[in-house]
Structure 1
Amino acid sequence: MAERPPVCDFGWKAPGFSLIGVDGETYTLDALKGPNGTLVAFICNHCPYVIAVIDRIVRDAKELAALGVNTVAICSNDATTHPDDSFENMKLFAARHGFTFPYLHDESQDVARAYDAACTPDFFGFNADLELQYRGRMDASGRDPAGPHVKRDLFEAMKQIAETGQGPREQTPSIGCSIKWKAA
């Protein structure tokens, strides 16, 4: 079932974390923080919404890096109920799509809860001070292929944040599959 996260809570401070990446290294938010901004993307391997946009996420991450914005992706889904999202499958997914950014495993789901992540993909765009400035969609195409004239909402917002420290006031929420939470 499709979920939509809440709109941007401007100025909300990014919670710190320490998570293992698919490369076996442990990463903290402080170490990943970009000089002009940080994009935290909650994704997974199996969601059709993520699969539809993953190559655009990789493209945008490369272009944003040139603007001083670092990207990190986090998978928080319960791999017991959704084995496609296991740590081993995360490694394969990152390699298959040529990730140039860390892909982190939130096995405890504590980071997803701290961010109040709702769906995959769920994008959190922070300025240089790790203040939330964007929580919106990738673009208007959703699960469809993006045509040549589709506005790149996420990229344009992060570019604006890199240049001004402020995100656009008009934002359209992302849409995707719900986070697969562990049973209580």
Structure 2
Amino acid sequence: MALSAPVCNFGWQAVDFALADTRGTRHTLASLRGPSGLLLMFICNHCPYVKAVIDRICRDAREVQQLGFGVAAVMSNDAREYPEDSFANMQRLANEMGFPFPYLHDETQDVARAYGAVCTPDFFAFNADLQLQYRGRLDASGRLPAAPGCRRELVEAMRLIATTGSGPREQHASIGCSIKWRTGSEPA
């Protein structure tokens, strides 16, 4: 079932966390942020929406890093029910795709809950003060290949945040598969 992420809550302050990546390195907000801010993406291995855009996510992450942003992806799904999202498969995907960012394992699902993540992919772009400025889609393609001339909405937003500290007022919600919550741990 496809879900849409909520509209950006401008100025919402990023919540600190400590998560290990697929190489065993622990990361926090302080270790991830760049001088321009942070792009935090909730993704997973099995979602067809993520699979359709993962190459573009990697491409855009590299560009966003050049703008001075830290970039990280978080996987919060229940891997017991969705084994393709297991830690071993996270490691495999990160290696195969050559992720240019840490791929963090949110085994407790606490980070997804704290951020209000609802789908994969779900993009959270924070300025240098770690205030939310963009919660929109990568681009208009959804699960389809990007059409020629397709606006790169996430990259455009990140450029604006890098130069002004503020995100675009017009944003289109990301759409994707729901976060796969463990039974009994769904957010209220």
Q: TM-score, normalised by structure 2?
A: 0.97
Name the structure 2 match of 1:152.
152
CA distances 1:22-52 after superposition (whole Å, capped 9, x unpaired): 0111111111011002100000000000001
Q: Where does structure 1 lack aligned partners over 5 or more consecutive residues?
A: none
| Secondary structure of 1:162 counterpart | helix
Q: How many residues were matched structurally?
A: 184
Name the structure 2 match of 1:48.
48
1:141 and 2:141 equivalent? Answer: yes
Name the structure 2 match of 1:176.
176
C-alpha separation in 2, matches of 1:159 and 1:148: 21
C-alpha separation in 2, matches of 1:107 and 1:44: 12
The percentage of aligned residue pairs carrying the same residue is: 63
Name the structure 1 match of 2:86.
86
Letter in 2 for 1:43: I
Matches within 5 A, 1:12-161: 12-161=12-161
CA distances 1:105-138 after superposition (whole Å, capped 9, x unpaired): 0000000000000000000000000000000000
CA RMSD of aligned residues (A): 0.6
Deviation, structure 1 residue 70: 1.3
C-alpha separation in 1, matches of 2:2 and 2:72: 23
| Secondary structure of 1:176 counterpart | strand
CA distances 1:40-79 after superposition (whole Å, capped 9, x unpaired): 0000000000001111110011111111011100000000
Q: TM-score, normalised by structure 1?
A: 0.99
For structure 1, which segment, 173-182 or 60-69, has the greater mean C-alpha deviation from structure 2 after superposition? 60-69
Letter in 1 for 2:70: N
Contact 1:37–1:158, Cα closer than 8 Å, also in 2: no
CA distances 1:137-171 after superposition (whole Å, capped 9, x unpaired): 00001100012200000110011101110000000
Letter in 2 for 1:170: E
C-alpha separation in 2, matches of 1:9 and 1:177: 21
Q: Where does structure 2 lack aligned partners over 5 or more consecutive residues?
A: none
C-alpha separation in 2, matches of 1:67 and 1:125: 13
C-alpha separation in 1, matches of 2:64 and 2:28: 20
